[in-house]
């Protein structure tokens, strides 16, 4: 549950579901010329089935909680 709701596809939400990552997810995130931060955002977005731009809306406390999962 997010402390600060975000909009995903125009819908306000305070809940994200994250699936368990696979090796393929890690490899996909590391493709291209991404910084370590961009790799992490790409991976989280993929695992939550949302766009990286949606992750950009998250508050820092919510993002930190996601990192701890």
pLDDT of residue 5 exceeding 90: yes
Sign for the pseudo-dihedral over CA of 31, 35, 36, 41: negative
Reported as a pLDDT band with limits 50, 70 and 90, residue 54 is very high
pTM of the predicted protein model: 0.91
**Furthest C-alpha separation in the chain:** 32
Q: What is the mean pLDDT of the chain?
A: 96
Please answer whether residues 15 and 66 qualify as being in contact, where contact means their C-beta atoms are separated by less than 8 angstroms.
no
Please answer whether residues 46 and 28 qualify as being in contact, where contact means their C-beta atoms are separated by less than 8 angstroms.
yes
Q: What pLDDT, in 10s, does the model give residues 31-53?
A: 999 999 999 999 999 999 999 99
């Amino acid at each position: 549950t997010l402390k600060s709701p975000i909009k995903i596809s125009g819908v306000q939400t305070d809940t994200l579901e994250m699936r368990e990552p696979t090796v393929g997810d890690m490899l996909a995130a590391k493709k291209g010329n991404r910084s370590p931060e961009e790799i992490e955002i790409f991976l989280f977005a993929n695992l939550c089935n949302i766009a990286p731009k949606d992750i950009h809306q998250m508050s820092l406390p919510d993002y930190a909680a996601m990192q701890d999962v």
